[in-house]
Copies of this chain bind each other. A is one copy, B any other.
Amino acid sequence: MALRIGVIGAGRIGKVHAETLVTRVPGVQLIAVADVISAAAEELAARLHIPVATADYRDIIRDTSIDAIAICSATDTHSPIIIEAAQAGKQIFCEKPIDLNLARIDGALEAVEKARVKLQIGFNRRFDANYARVRQAIQTGEIGDLHMLHIISRDPAPPPISYIKVSGGIFLDMSIHDFDMARFLTGSDAVEIYTVAGVKVDPAIGDAGDVDTAFMVMKFVNGATVTIDNSRKAVYGYDQRVEAFGSGGSISTDNQYPNAATISTGQHIRRDLPLNFFMERYTASYENEMRAFVDAITNNKPVPVTGHDGRVPVVMGLAAKKSHVEGRPVRLNEIS
């Protein structure tokens, strides 16, 4: 019988997951969608033939015919919804970050553990073919022992200042994906982080108390040195690449392009710009992560991205921020 699921939050990412569940994931039925803006929930329900639309996510949690939920609402609602859903025995998929506050994260993870439900965190990039190939090369020894890992992660344009003010800043809304990627690719954990960061793209970001350009170098438990290069603005588009270097060789990935054409003119040899942003670049990964969630629930397997995996990058983000503020390497165990 098909898994019955409800989506909480009908914003950008909620729509992506709803469409994926309806058109691309077998063995699942999308039963209900909730959004505080009821028109958003209704519009989405109408378009995708979802039976129930509601403004109150509790309608979904109370519906005993629903097996699982996908939490795509605002970050500060994640923890309370996780706790309520766990208590109601729902299986849970939750967008990253779980929360910006470690105590609240810990509360949510405790509720999940107590209720013995599953919780998968939405680090979708783990399900991208490029990163999966790099992880394979590292984990199978194809490039020997890992010495260095460089992660380049640059957005095509900064988000609105209003978003930056509530997102937790670059280390918690943007680098967090790369912290997770560092853990996923290395299969190890950070010990210490040193950050060099500043405002290069837009002074308004500085005025909002954030930086827009950040570089982090980290010592990992397995002895590898890992770096992250973040920018809020790469004029040529979404720049998402990694290079891993080891005793047996290296592996590096290129960006993804809308086509594989090269054009030669009297001026230069050129190709079109890469896929512009995460919706296009990571389309397949959103589909894959949702398939993996449905598979984990249906077949009672461990989820591929756990609550712990959701917690650690928040710790790393806090350490990176502290390093930036204090101008010195910060050990992760300095973060409570």
Contact = CB atoms under 8 A, between A and B. Distances in A.
B273 A268 contact: yes
A235 to B, nearest CB: 4
A214 to B, nearest CB: 9
A109 interface: no
Nearest to A266: B235
A142 B272 CA distance: 13
Contacts of A264: 234, 236, 239, 249-252, 273
Interface in A234-255: 234-236, 239, 245, 247-255
Contacts of A194: 194, 196, 217, 329
Interface string A187-200: 00000001010101
A223 B200 contact: yes
Interface stretch (A61-69, A128-136, A158-166): A128-136
Contacts of A261: 130, 133-134, 137, 251-254
Contact of A255 (B258, B260, B273): B260
A145 interface: yes
A201 B259 contact: no
Contacts of A143: 263, 265
Contacts of A206: none
B253 A260 contact: yes
A148 B23 contact: no
Contacts of A256: 260
A322 to B, nearest CB: 15
Interface stretch (A35-43, A81-89, A224-232, A313-321): A224-232
A335 B198 CA distance: 25
Interface in A60-117: none
A259 to B, nearest CB: 4
A269 interface: yes
Given A194-B329, A327-B329, A251 B236 contact: no
A58 interface: no
Contact of A229 (B150, B219, B223, B254): B150
Contacts of A301: none
A249 B236 contact: yes
A90 B183 CA distance: 56
A131 to B, nearest CB: 9
A133 B257 CA distance: 12
A319 B72 CA distance: 48
B248 A235 contact: yes
10 A-B pairs closest in CB distance: A270-B270, A236-B264, A249-B265, A254-B260, A235-B266, A268-B270, A133-B259, A133-B261, A129-B259, A250-B264
29 contacts: A23-B24, A132-B259, A133-B272, A134-B261, A137-B261, A143-B263, A144-B235, A148-B213, A148-B215, A150-B150, A194-B194, A194-B329, A215-B227, A234-B250, A234-B264, A249-B263, A249-B264, A251-B261, A251-B263, A252-B261, A252-B264, A264-B273, A268-B272, A269-B270, A269-B271, A269-B274, A327-B329, A328-B328, A328-B329
